[in-house]
Amino acid sequence: MTGGQRGVRDRRYEWLVLLTVMTGSFMSTMDSSIANLSLPVLSQVFQEGPAVVLWVSLVYILTLSGLMLTAGRMGDLLGRKRIYASGFAIFSLGLVLCSLAQNMPQLILFRVVQAAGGALTTGLGPALITTTFPPEERGRALGIWGMSIGAGLGSGPALGGVLLDTLGWRSIFWARLPLSVAGAVVAWTMLRESRPVTSQPRFDIWGALFLFGGVASLLVGVNQGQVRGWTSPFILALGATSLVLLTSFLVVERRTPQPVVDLALFRSRPFATATVTQFFYYASYVGVSFLMPFYLIRGRDLPPLTSGLLLTIMAAAMGLLSPLAGRLCDRIGHRVLVAAGIGLSILGLLLLRGLGPSATPLEIGLDLLVLGVGAGFFMTPNYSAIMGSVPADRLGTASAMISTPRALGQAAGLALIGVVLVWRELHYTVGLAQEGWQGEALASRALIGGFADALWVSILAGFLGLGVTLLGEGGRPAGRR
């Protein structure tokens, strides 16, 4: 039962749930920020280019994209506690396997295992909060939860920098294992099981398979199109496969009595607007988390620790502002806050494009601060808009709809940005070589040029998200439906 349904609220249990969910989100977001920071290091260790090491992050996000809606629906049908706790256990196994990887293919494969666990925790966290806290405190609770996302993104670069500088790349996996195991123990022993929404659950296995296969085919095609050629048989086959599978997914979802995604939810304009906005915002945001480590470590030759501390500024601002944004959302609704957050993020991206080979750490930090403030104002209000626009028996699905468009946006943005970065870096390499540049100076300048051009993908995605928000239905205070 939710906190709003009980005669006497169990505040201790509410905080236990919130802290447990915050632990899962902290682990997941820390993973993404540490992994992105490690990409330049992994590129050197395994002697692979950005287009290959990109898959350490991309395969994780792709797996999340394909499984989170499935995880959310499994929680609705089978009970959220068991699915959530299982996610912690699988995530822990993935950490162990990644720390033991001997080559790049193994590391990419083991990241799939880790992401499968992350999908179960990430997809159900907001549902656990929403069913525990009363509607009038949803924004506040989600805002506090948002602090864990900021903390994960903020501590990831700093911790990753220390670990990479002192203990090597394997430590970024095994050093997080104790916290992940502790999360699994707490979730299994302390959380209360939710009541399944039906006495005869039937899982939509075909819908889940069509969704995962269609998304995977699409994103692999986008990532490999520049390398293999957009009209090559391989890319055309992936495009056709994606079209067939995603079309089949829509057909199955319309006919099955217990679908992975209830398409009727998209009849709600607040839900549809917030979901699409989520996709475009994170397609924009991922550009910074992926590109900045390359700019700082390879373009500017800064050590991982210094780079990590600079990236912490953005995440710290986001985490500190999330509770304030949650409280404001409870009072004035989400639309103004979401639009302001996206606008500030676009401004931050434009400022980052102006960073050259001689930008000072202060300039870099101030630009990242603007992005962090924008993310802080966007995140919680948009989450609350999604969770506040669905019926109680679809909260698991809605919870996954917070994370799935986020992961899909990150995967699509990452695939496109990776292509543009490699393409433009090669362009600048040829041009600068003709001008007489060579060696490390040539590589640094070419990468910085590619970095600036690739950011246009993020800026365009940000403007698309802002347009969707401004054209969508106006926001109302979360929980007062």
What is the structure's pLDDT at 400?
63
Q: Are 301 and 446 in contact (CB under 8 A)?
A: no
364 burial via Cβ count (<10 Å: 0-12, 13-18, 19+): buried
Q: Measured between alpha carbons, how far is 35 from 39 in angstroms, rounded to an integer?
A: 6
Instruction: Give the CA distances from residue 373 to residues 152, 348, 475, in Å, rounded to whole numbers and listed in that order.
Output: 16, 9, 20
Q: What angle do CA 104, 109, 112 make, to 5 degrees?
A: 135
- Provide Rg for the chain, Cα atoms: 21
What is the structure's pLDDT at 326?
76
For CA atoms 221, 224, 227, 233, give the dihedral sign.
negative
Residues 390-407, mean pLDDT to the nearest whole number: 67
160 versus 135: which is more confidently predicted?
160
Give the 3-state DSSP-derived string for 356-421, with helices as H, strands as E and coil as C: CCCCCHHHHHHHHHHHHHHHHHHHHHHHHHHHCCCCHHHHHHHHHHHHHHHHHHHHHHHHHHHHHH
Alpha helices, DSSP H only, in 133-232? 138-166, 171-174, 177-190, 205-228
Residues 84-105, mean pLDDT to the nearest whole number: 90
By C-alpha distance, which of 225, 350, 229, 242 is closest to 287?
Answer: 350
Give the pLDDT band of residue 395 (cuts 50, 70, 90): low
Q: Is the pTM higher than 0.75?
A: no
Instruction: Give the CA distances from residue 138 to residues 2, 190, 386, 479, in Å, rounded to whole numbers and listed in that order.
Output: 11, 22, 11, 7
First-to-last C-alpha distance (Å) of the chain? 19
478 has a pLDDT exceeding 50:
no
Both tokens assigned to 158: 């700093």
Q: What angle do CA 127, 129, 130 make, to 5 degrees?
A: 65
HSE-CB of 73 using CA atoms within 13 angstroms: 19
CB atoms near residue 12 (< 10 Å):
8
In order, the DSSP letters of 259-292 are: -SS-GGGGGSHHHHHHHHHHHHHHHHHHHHHHHH
Q: Are 223 and 413 in contact (CB under 8 A)?
A: no
Residues 125-142, mean pLDDT to the nearest whole number: 76
Q: Give residue-wise pLDDT tens across range 53-79.
A: 878 887 887 787 777 777 777 777 777
Q: Give residue-wise pLDDT tens across range 321-366.
A: 877 887 787 777 788 888 999 999 999 999 988 887 788 888 888 9
What is the structure's pLDDT at 343?
94
481 has a pLDDT exceeding 70:
no
Q: Measured between alpha carbons, how far is 151 from 322 in angstroms, rounded to an integer?
A: 11
Q: Give residue-wise pLDDT tens across range 205-262.
A: 787 788 778 877 877 777 677 667 778 888 889 889 989 998 998 888 777 776 766 6
Give the pLDDT band of residue 271 (cuts 50, 70, 90): confident
Give the pLDDT band of residue 194 (cuts 50, 70, 90): low
Both tokens assigned to 479: 């929980």
240 versus 400: which is more confidently predicted?
240
414 has a pLDDT exceeding 50:
yes
Residue in the block written with tokens 């296969």: 213
Helical axes 50-78 vs 395-434, angle rounded to 10°: 180
Instruction: Give the CA distances from residue 166 to residues 95, 129, 271, in Å, rounded to whole numbers and listed in that order.
Output: 19, 38, 46
69 versus 288: which is more confidently predicted?
288
Q: Are 37 and 157 in contact (CB under 8 A)?
A: yes
Q: Measured between alpha carbons, how far is 191 from 13 in angstroms, rounded to an integer?
A: 8
Q: Are 210 and 248 in contact (CB under 8 A)?
A: yes
464 has a pLDDT exceeding 50:
yes
454 versus 312: which is more confidently predicted?
454
Instruction: Give the CA distances from residue 54 to residues 127, 421, 426, in Å, rounded to whole numbers and listed in that order.
Output: 31, 11, 17
Q: Measured between alpha carbons, how far is 404 from 413 in angstroms, rounded to an integer?
A: 14
